[in-house]
Amino acid sequence: QKEVEQDPGPLSVPEGAIVSLNCTYSNSAFQYFMWYRQYSRKGPELLMYTYSSGNKEDGRFTAQVDKSSKYISLFIRDSQPSDSATYLCAMGAGGTSYGKLTFGQGTILTVHP
Amino acid sequence: DAGVIQSPRHEVTEMGQEVTLRCKPISGHDYLFWYRQTMMRGLELLIYFNNNVPIDDSGMPEDRFSAKMPNASFSTLKIQPSEPRDSAVYFCASSLQPGQGTPYEQYFGPGTRLTVT
């Protein structure tokens, strides 16, 4: 079993829809939770960062972390065609392993006009 | 800043040949990471360095893979001999020390697309 599980999709939604992306994990040591976005033939870029449990909002994007359930989510409101990309969740434990991230497999999202 | 620079961008080689991938991290970044990405396995961490010292190489698939970081501005990932199953996109990324910038924000290069025939 992988430390981080993410449904690879693909996910196809109409413009304006609310998108929900999710990951589950098994390592209780994870404290840092991130979402990276990767456009086709590009490297991933950090989209959202959350430390420990709770919600974080940035424009149309909301990240949620539920450490008790070992479950994280990314919500995209009013989705746009420019949001079409692969979304990867990533997690880090901190401490002596600071720097090391474990990524989910990524969910391919297409937003069609 | 030019960002993380990787070369070559594309590499096609025959099975058994040696392949060397190169990376120049962002100036001032102390961490450097090598990843491999495939459709089947996603993005996998191979090895990472802190201040040019390898910290964790547990993701290196086998002895055919080796990585070096001779100085703060250059790193190589070598595969010798290469096999068709090594075909993937290899990414290099760099980041700052704890307490600087957003924790765990890694800056990725454009990747090297490797095809081994």
Task: Round to whole Å and give the CA distance between B86 and B31.
Answer: 24
First to last CA, chain A: 37
Closest approach of chain A CAs to the CA of B83, in angstroms? 23
Strand partners, B113: B10, B89
Could you read off the pLDDT of B29-81 as tens digits, one per residue?
999 999 999 988 899 999 999 999 999 999 998 899 999 999 999 999 999 99
A2 pLDDT band (50/70/90 cuts)?
confident
Interchain CB distance below 8 Å, B56 and A34: no
| Helix ranges, chain A (H) | none
pLDDT value at residue A52? 83
More reliable by pLDDT, B107 or A9: B107
Task: Give the A-side interface with B, CB within 8 Å.
Answer: 6, 8, 32, 34, 41-46, 49, 51, 88, 90, 92, 97-106
Percent of chain A with pLDDT over 70: 100
A105 pLDDT band (50/70/90 cuts)?
very high
pLDDT value at residue B1? 65
> Do the beta carbons of residue A1 and residue A7 sit within 8 Å?
no
Closest approach of chain A CAs to the CA of B87, in angstroms? 15
B6 pLDDT band (50/70/90 cuts)?
very high
Least confident of A49-58, A94-103, B89-98: A94-103
Q: What does pLDDT average to over chain B?
A: 94
Closest approach of chain B CAs to the CA of A39, in angstroms? 11
Could you read off the pLDDT of A19-43 as tens digits, one per residue?
999 999 999 999 999 999 999 999 9
Region A74-99 average pLDDT: 92
B99 pLDDT band (50/70/90 cuts)?
confident
Task: Round to whole Å and give the CA distance between A102 and A26.
Answer: 11
DSSP conformation letters of B15-36 = TT--EEEEEEPPTT--EEEEEE
Contact of B31 with chain A, judged by CB distance below 8 Å, is answered with: yes
